[in-house]
Chains A and B, each alone.
Chain A
Amino acid sequence: MSEAAIHSEELTALSFEKIKKKQRIISFLKGMLFLMPSIVLFSIFLFYPLVRTIYLSFFLTDASGTPTAFVGLDNFIQMFTSPVFLQSMQSTFLFVHYTVPGTVLIGLFLAVIANEKLKGIGFFRTIFSSTMGISVAAGSVFWLFLFNPTMGWLNQILGFFGMESIGWLTDPNFALISVSVTTIWMNLGFTFLILLGGLQSIDSYLYENADIDGAGYFYKLRRITIPMLSPTLFFVLTVSLINAFQTFGQIDMLTRGGPQNETNLIVYSIYQEAFMNYQYGTASAQAVVLFVIILILTLVQFKLGERKVHYQ
């Protein structure tokens, strides 16, 4: 036995407490050792930036981002009275409104038809999940061609049916929709994968039981599949929402916020303000708004998600 073995006579309740305390400190230090790398990096790249962003939002800065003058809430007041920012907020919400239901519904449809036990279903699953492996940049390039006013397939198909060409990315009435379609396509793979995973974790005896009762396909879909999938659907919904608010790449590639700021979504607006116009103060104020939106969405997910988990 080790040197720590001490005869009982020497051990009082007090010394037990001392040893226990020491052991607790040691296990605390060990735990911190495992967590330290993550905590340090989170602090540098997440918590500090968060505080710093809020701090910067009350200042004017020079071109390198050093705060020069405290302006209080001026940045926020200016922002909420600026038609460009309000336009950007409106576009962002419209964009979310177009893409989130679209992605989830189409993803759900694909997941449901790909959940059947048919020959060759693996092939279809692979195809449906493929857009997860296609980067924003590459996906944008693909669609950029489809949207091309003269050579693009979309206008060629319209022309084939004798319809007029559309300026998909240049017409203010269409640009946001075009970007939304591209985004739905890009996010489909991930959504599909998660939903398919959710579908496959539903116990098959539920269906077998319904089969014995003679339930039809749509009855089962409505009464078993959708309710059992609701926690997954909920997760997918929030992730899609948060992703939609953070959209940047396809805007930069497809429209650069144009035409007439129609597609100037909030992250792109932050990017332009900070890294094109070097207005770090106002950009930070916008980032604070983005943070608040995401915060609320995440809180809603945790709050509601807690209740939904009981389905499992």
Chain B
Amino acid sequence: MNMPLSRKLIFYTLLFVSALLVFAPAMIAFMMSFMTNQDIMAGNMIPTSLTFDNYLAVFDRFPLLNYLANSFIVSIVIMIGQLILCSLAAYAFVFMEFKGRDVLFFIFIATMMVPFEASVIPNFQTIRDLGLIDSYAGLSLPYFAMAFGTFLLRQNFKQIPKELKEASEIAGIGHFKFYLTVVLPVAKTSLVTLGVYGFLTSWNMYLWPLLSTTNDSVRTVQIGLKQLQSQEQLNEWGVIMAGGIIVVLPTLILLFLGQKKLQQGLAEGAIK
């Protein structure tokens, strides 16, 4: 259907204005990361000259590369852990029949009612008592099991025709082989969706890394940014913004690449 020109114009105006407002904070930060300190201190909105110094400075003065590497490792470990645990659990809920399955499923639902923030005190003590403070394991382990991810995959696995399972049973293919050679490849897209989601949320974690890291050895980039901001307060905004831009770059790229899948996948897991 063709839209009348006047309505098209209205929509484009709304879209442009909204896009400008939504993207402004990030855009301004991006601009500032290339501005000299004089420009910023003078309160100039438009830079008089562009510089790459802020980026050099932030890498020079901070173990940013170290933080980035830590964040990558933690996010990928969490992502893989979630994919394995969630897909195994979802498989059991869809393709296996056994006593107590429905009760267990209810327990999984119930976990959604326990906010991580409310259980953070004992978790901190557990990780501390296990000697996992300042370790990748301590950072990632509490996030492996995830009810939301299990639901999302369960939703997707349910769309696999049950005849595939039955055909495999007749051919003598066991559960684990069916899971590995049929279910995982067929549900690839939803695994990617969950992977992207898991990576994004892990990369952006704040409270837990704040509690479970005490030094630079495994500190993630988010906490690094907090340190940067609290130490550079007042004067070096360009450097702080350069740090901020570097922190968001990986997730923004991932989001842009996976936006469509994420949107469909999340909506499915959320509603159906």
Contacts and interface: CB of A to CB of B under 8 A. Distances in A.
Interface of A: 24, 27-28, 30-32, 34-35, 37-39, 41-42, 44-50, 52-53, 56, 65, 109-110, 113-114, 116, 118, 121, 123-146, 148, 150-151, 153, 156, 185, 188-189, 193-194, 196-198, 200-201, 211, 217, 231-232, 235, 239, 242, 245-246, 248-249, 252-253, 267, 270-271, 274-275, 280, 283-284, 287-288, 290-291, 294-295, 298-299, 302, 309, 312
A138 B145 contact: no
Given A46-B111, A194-B266, A137 B206 contact: yes
B223 to A, nearest CB: 8
B89 to A, nearest CB: 5
B11 A118 contact: yes
Contacts of B179: 34
Could you tell me the dominant secondary structure of chain B's interface residues?
helix
Could you tell me the dominant secondary structure of chain A's interface residues?
helix
Given A142-B244, A151-B40, A194-B266, A252 B226 contact: yes
A33 B200 CA distance: 29
21 contacts: A28-B99, A30-B96, A35-B89, A35-B104, A38-B108, A46-B114, A53-B122, A129-B263, A139-B25, A140-B229, A142-B25, A142-B26, A148-B237, A153-B28, A193-B262, A200-B264, A239-B270, A249-B206, A252-B210, A274-B120, A274-B121
7 interchain residue pairs of minimum CB distance:
A197-B267, A49-B119, A133-B255, A249-B206, A49-B122, A34-B92, A135-B204
Contact of A128 (B19, B101, B112): B19
Interface residues of B, number: 96
B175 interface: yes
Given A135-B203, A142-B244, 11 more contacts: A32-B98, A37-B145, A49-B120, A50-B114, A133-B254, A134-B248, A134-B252, A136-B222, A252-B210, A287-B118, A291-B114
Given A39-B104, A53-B121, A127-B19, A253 B175 contact: no
Contact of A126 (B243, B245, B251, B259): B259
B229 A253 contact: yes
A245 B126 contact: no
B113 A298 contact: yes
Contacts of A136: 204, 206, 222
Nearest to A296: B113
Contact of B118 (A114, A188, A291): A291
B104 A133 contact: no
Contact of B25 (A42, A146, A193): A146
B55 interface: no
B237 A56 contact: no
B22 A198 contact: no
Interface in B245-272: 245, 247-248, 251-252, 254-256, 259, 262-264, 266-268, 270-272
B98 A193 contact: no
Contact of A141 (B89, B91, B229): B229
A49 B121 contact: yes
B114 A138 contact: no
Interface in B151-210: 175, 179, 200, 203-204, 206-207, 210
A260 B77 CA distance: 40
A290 B118 contact: yes
Contact of A291 (B43, B115, B125): B115
A259 to B, nearest CB: 17
Contacts of B247: 135, 137-138
A130 B252 contact: yes
Contacts of B254: 133
A91 to B, nearest CB: 16
A144 to B, nearest CB: 7
Contacts of B107: 39, 42
A45 B130 CA distance: 13
B137 to A, nearest CB: 12
B73 interface: no
A144 B229 contact: yes
B222 A38 contact: no
A116 B144 CA distance: 38
B266 A193 contact: yes
A65 B206 contact: no
B123 to A, nearest CB: 5
A52 B206 contact: no
Contact of B267 (A39, A48, A194, A271): A194
